[in-house]
Structure 1
Amino acid sequence: MKKIVVLTGAGMSAESGLSTFRSSNGLWENHRVEDVATPEGWYRNPELVLDFYNGLRRALINAEPNAGHKGLAALESNYDVYIITQNVDNLHERAGSSHVLHLHGELMKVRSVRNEKLIRELSSEECDIHLGDKAEDGEQLRPHIVWFGEAVPMIEPAIELVSKADIFVVIGTSLNVYPAAGLLNYVRPGIPVYLIDPNEVYDPSGRVTCVIRKGASEGIKELLKILHK
């Protein structure tokens, strides 16, 4: 069974009503990215950061996987599919995808500020975290998110997956955010690379072999037709 590895970005979940991580004006849900997605922002105003992610979780709980998410899950009937996502939502999992690697963390999880391995999963019924809420080690809980300026611990497993792909697919990402954008450099020579995005995306690696200029849902429909041929 051929192995398909898929890299997804914010455009993957946009059709589900979730905001993209960083807009052209540097705002995310009307907040400066520096205030809510950096370690410095956390140390300046942890209460603001916690409230911000509480709001994102409530939005995620009310969102549903779109046809694109479901299309990728359906690929598992004929392929060995692994998804590497830059998104922090859980829509891939809720759509039925079995193998999802989150590069930038997971919105429905929180962890100790001291020990990043002390992770707690939140439920849809209890999804808010406040100052004073503690991890098992007695330290404050923070979002289990990789903020700008922090290391990306899952990049090595992602590189290994990409290096073994028989087919590589990029969906809804600008290829501007590193190290995720650099994953294209690990695709083996001769492997087909599909890029799905309604916007023009610059491929710094030169590895893309087929561009599908559509949104995630329609683009994946077209990809399925191509693969089935």
Structure 2
Amino acid sequence: MLVFALTGAGVSAESGLGTFRDPDGLWERHDPRRLATPEAFAADPVLVHRFYDWRRRTALSAESNAAHAALARLERGLAARGGALFLCTQNVDDLHERGGSARVHHLHGELFRARCLGCGTASDWRGDMGPADLGVEARCPACAAARLRPDIVWFGEMPRGLDAVARELRAADLFVAIGTSGAVYPAAGFVAEARLRGVPTLEINLGAADNAGLFDRAAYGRATEAVPAWVDEVLGRAA
């Protein structure tokens, strides 16, 4: 059995990391046009670095939850039965990895990686990344240039690995979206692609997403309860 799981901010919300599009979400409190576009970074890199340094410190203090652990258990359980899980996340935190998942596709980049604007090298980065204006002299480990940016997919940039996503969608026996708003494309369109191929679809969410009508089934509730229950169901069927 091949399972394609798409996760969004809702899977990390119970770890204390805020969602983006809820009434009290991150983009309700901060203007993404000033913080999460290439143009914003070019206009005010100090402000953008300050925002992402704060997000990095916040994510470092968070811990993975039962939903992350359940998806890691699903990955191991399917592999033991000759199947596989393709875990595609819109999240830039590393809570899936810390929860035990070995194979995670970060569609929107990774908060704990820096990309050099000089040589293009991407490096692991867990500290502050701000420029000298913020009292930090962050330099690329490869070329020593002080021209780093968060290795994040900003608005107006192309999500990562869409060819791999399309390949996995074609092979999937089940598509599930967990904790997603159903409002951010191209990820919000994955369920439609799955349906066109006759793949069963499931939404697991706190409440109905914007694209909820496209799913065959839905399970609403806290991710830390709904995801482990679903994983038990899948592994029971696959046994």
TM-score, structure 1 normalization: 0.89
Counterpart mapping for 1:73-92 below 5 A: 73-79=72-78, 80-92=84-96
CA, structure 1 residues 133+98, in 2 after alignment: closer, same or farther (shift >3 Å)?
Answer: same
Partner of 2:199: 191
CA RMSD of aligned residues (A): 2.0
Partner of 2:13: 14
Is the counterpart of residue 210 in structure 1 residue 217 in structure 2? yes
CA, structure 1 residues 27+226, in 2 after alignment: closer, same or farther (shift >3 Å)?
Answer: closer
Instruction: Give aligned-pair identity as a percent.
Output: 39
Partner of 1:179: 186
Equivalent in 154, 164, 172 of residue 157 of structure 1: 164
- TM superposition shift of 1:174: 1.3
Structure ranking higher in helix proportion: 2
Is the counterpart of residue 103 in structure 1 residue 107 in structure 2? yes
CA contact (8 A) 1:213 1:219 kept: yes
CA, structure 1 residues 76+151, in 2 after alignment: closer, same or farther (shift >3 Å)?
Answer: closer
Letter in 2 for 1:75: L
Partner of 1:181, secondary structure, is helix
Counterpart mapping for 1:1-40 below 5 A: 2-24=1-23, 27-28=26-27, 30-40=29-39
Partner of 2:134: none
Equivalent in 119, 131, 139 of residue 134 of structure 1: 139
Partner of 1:78, secondary structure, is helix
CA, structure 1 residues 34+48, in 2 after alignment: closer, same or farther (shift >3 Å)?
Answer: same
TM-score, structure 2 normalization: 0.86
Partner of 1:41, secondary structure, is helix
CA contact (8 A) 1:194 1:209 kept: yes
Which stretch has the larger CA shift, 164-173 or 73-82?
73-82
CA contact (8 A) 2:11 2:68 kept: yes
Letter in 2 for 1:195: E
Could you tell me how far apart the structure 2 residues matched to 1:34 and 1:162 are? 31
- TM superposition shift of 1:133: 2.6
- TM superposition shift of 1:93: 0.6
- TM superposition shift of 1:78: 2.3
Q: Deviations over 1:127-153 (max 9, x none)?
A: 111215332342500000000011123
Is the counterpart of residue 121 in structure 1 residue 124 in structure 2? yes
Instruction: Specify every segment of 5 or more residues in structure 1 that has no aligned partner in the other structure, as ranges.
Output: none
Could you tell me how far apart the structure 2 residues matched to 1:108 and 1:29 are? 24
CA contact (8 A) 2:21 2:181 kept: no
CA, structure 1 residues 62+198, in 2 after alignment: closer, same or farther (shift >3 Å)?
Answer: same
- TM superposition shift of 1:114: 4.5
Partner of 1:94: 98
Could you tell me how far apart the structure 1 residues matched to 2:71 and 2:11 are? 11
- TM superposition shift of 1:23: 4.2
Could you tell me how far apart the structure 2 residues matched to 1:115 and 1:200 are? 43
Partner of 2:199, secondary structure, is coil
Could you tell me how far apart the structure 1 residues matched to 2:92 and 2:206 are? 21
Instruction: Specify every segment of 5 or more residues in structure 2 that has no aligned partner in the other structure, as ranges.
Output: 79-83, 132-136
CA, structure 1 residues 5+26, in 2 after alignment: closer, same or farther (shift >3 Å)?
Answer: closer
Q: Deviations over 1:85-134 (max 9, x none)?
A: 00000000111111100010000001012454x101014xxx11121533
- TM superposition shift of 1:26: 7.5
